[in-house]
Structure 1
């Protein structure tokens, strides 16, 4: 039944592989159910409210992605967008209820764009050069996250980043976990990424690095419709809506391009069932705002599940189920999520797999090469997928125009080049 619904065999996968892929994705992104409440509670939103809202948004969006679009992509409230939420509340002296209202309005617009052809037109207008660059840029970004979480690289006043303390327990465990997983990968052991995570977790437990605080706990009661929609218009938060909308659209677009390209699901530069896929983040954003969390987006950590063999929506359904279960097992989930050494090696390895598209970029043509280069470089340097895409969208049409190839650029790219320039200058969402 599962095979028939998800076409698992047709995609060269198995139910077991899809389940393992879902578990792998879940444990690389589950940190969000603890990090998101920590960020939003800093501006007054109750921690328990955000905890439940984060899970509700993740389950909603990921189920849509798995059951309707049938892609191995997970949705959850986005990092960066939550920080922007906190910045808007703190800097403009607004209540968090009013900003939730702005997210709700953005979500409704988002849904309307998703059911129309607009988002699909944007996706299909992106030139192949930038699609390959987006995938590779996300690969560097996700590997950078892994290196940072492991402590292998740290902030440095002189050089921005530098080598970390290789004698720190978490860093040592990360290195050990990385080489265990690498050896499993080169030996072609099925489920190598998941086995590597499991072995690393066992070592952490033996070394006393996991802080056990129980197994189960009753989840908090969700809070519904804690927002002020009228305040959005009385305070004129149109720029805030614009920033949330633009960043969320291109975060998910970039991640969808990367995941489907990596999984071999993209056909002739197009993503089948794109409209259904776009409903995932837009509905999750709207529902999430009603319960009390920042906008949702497709997670780059979904690439870990694809690397583990996930090719269908069953991977996403497993992720959604685990998010649902996590509200009852928050102590044990938190214990694993707070140990970066367990997930960091997976992120580093996945980053390597995502660099394959570099060979398909037209490097001899400078008006193709530079936009690709700047897209790839900016993502890890700014820790923002949408900012990397913005730089690519701005430089690509300019270089094509002045090289006499302006007619090769889709009109939508010119429009978004202007919109991205306005957003980066006046409404930076970081």
Structure 2
């Protein structure tokens, strides 16, 4: 094992890698609770999502461990799960159709992993749009958290308003939120998971939570009959592109960031990048057939790197722990049914995703406005795809009228034109 993962060359040990794997797992374990809670709101059976979440995490993380050999964990990504639910609600389609869009995005991602077009696409899209997309998703999922907790409620005059703080679920959400914020501020490992557990205990004594058990054999699951034809009949091309684009950017950015932190970058290049991206693409594709939204590399992997994780052995430990979690479905099912458990996580993760805004050149208007347009439209339209489309239309247009047309990669003009045609003549319905 030491030789396979080159532990000596990387300056690490088996013990260090195991500790790093456990640390990473504890910081991202919330996904096996939050993901089923979010997707079950779209009608997807809870047990199906629970199994699919763990299966895609295990598959993706194992590929990362054994082939890419990096200390990076893969699991269904936050933001994409919330977007999945909104597509079902706003477009009036079945979740089988939306899983069809995830499957197509996964296949495209897999194909792009073997071509140079992936690098071309990544490099052609300006930083302001990338940061705008990430931040827009952050606001989007934070808003969902506020809404599910009753902190923000519908209002016929102003569209939204402040909720009733006397509601038990709202009170518990605020308790859980502030408790988790304190744990994070104190730099406690696994802060979000610990915060959820304490919130669950408080919720139990408030009578908001009931347990039918803690441990049980893994639930059975079946492969979905994906409605790929429905993707085309409902014109969900932008949704496919949104899943693909966000997954590529999120995964690539996270992988590079964690690799730099671990000192694994060589001459500015990410070693075995093809296998690393393949891990995400395969997890997304397989996950769609089992019942979960797109997968992504987890920034929480940086916590494992911080305690010494440097090799694929860290990821291997994470994959093993996800398998163990299969036997705790009754516990996960109970606590995920209480929105006060998941809402604080959505709000906090939304905050983390705003970091890139500091890197946007706000003094250059033709850079700032497209990013602003994305950030504004994503939460207000409840559509990540619409936000991306607006950004891809306004950016080349702003540069063109500013006399900076040559600064824009030709592929952006192509995408901008396609998005205009799609929004005008082929709107999703």
Calculate the TM-score normalised by the size of structure 1.
0.76
1:30 to 33, 38, 48: 33
Matches of 2:47 and 2:189, distance apart in 1: 38
2:296 to 291, 298, 311: 298
**Residues 292 and 309 from structure 1, CA distance in 2 versus in 1: closer, same or farther, beyond 3 angstroms?**
closer
* Contact 1:20–1:194 (CA under 8 A) maintained in structure 2: no
**How many residues are treated as equivalent by the alignment?**
412
**Helix, strand or coil for the counterpart of 1:39?**
coil
Deviations 1:122-144 (A, max 9, x none): 11212122233233323323332
**Residues 225 and 207 from structure 1, CA distance in 2 versus in 1: closer, same or farther, beyond 3 angstroms?**
closer
Matches of 1:145 and 1:318, distance apart in 2: 32
Structure 1 residue 162 displacement after superposition:
1.2
* Contact 1:201–1:342 (CA under 8 A) maintained in structure 2: yes
Calculate the TM-score normalised by the size of structure 2.
0.77
1:39 to 22, 38, 42: 42
Which deviates further from its counterpart, 174-183 or 344-353?
Answer: 344-353
Tell me the equivalent position of 1:140: 139
* Contact 2:110–2:282 (CA under 8 A) maintained in structure 1: yes
User: CA RMSD for the aligned pairs?
Assistant: 4.2
**Helix, strand or coil for the counterpart of 2:354?**
helix
Deviations 1:62-93 (A, max 9, x none): 544565364344236844446647988958xx
Structure 1 residue 283 displacement after superposition:
2.0
* Contact 2:177–2:344 (CA under 8 A) maintained in structure 1: yes
Deviations 1:164-205 (A, max 9, x none): 111111211221222223333444445443433332222223
1:253 pairs with 2:252: no
Structure 1 residue 366 displacement after superposition:
0.8
Matches of 1:191 and 1:50, distance apart in 2: 23
* Contact 2:36–2:46 (CA under 8 A) maintained in structure 1: no
Tell me the equivalent position of 1:342: 341
**Helix, strand or coil for the counterpart of 1:154?**
strand
1:390 pairs with 2:385: no
Within-5 A mapping of 1:25-424: 25-28=28-31, 30-33=33-36, 35-36=38-39, 39-40=42-43, 52-53=51-52, 55-64=54-63, 68=68, 70-75=71-76, 78-81=81-84, 84=87, 107-224=106-223, 226=225, 232=229, 237=232, 242-243=237-238, 245-256=240-251, 259=254, 265=260, 274-289=273-288, 291-293=289-291, 296-298=294-296, 302=298, 305=300, 320-321=319-320, 323-424=322-423
Matches of 1:427 and 1:5, distance apart in 2: 56
Structure 1 residue 249 displacement after superposition:
0.8
In the alignment, structure 1 segments of 5+ residues that lack a partner are none
**Residues 83 and 56 from structure 1, CA distance in 2 versus in 1: closer, same or farther, beyond 3 angstroms?**
farther
Deviations 1:208-232 (A, max 9, x none): 3221111233444443584688xx4
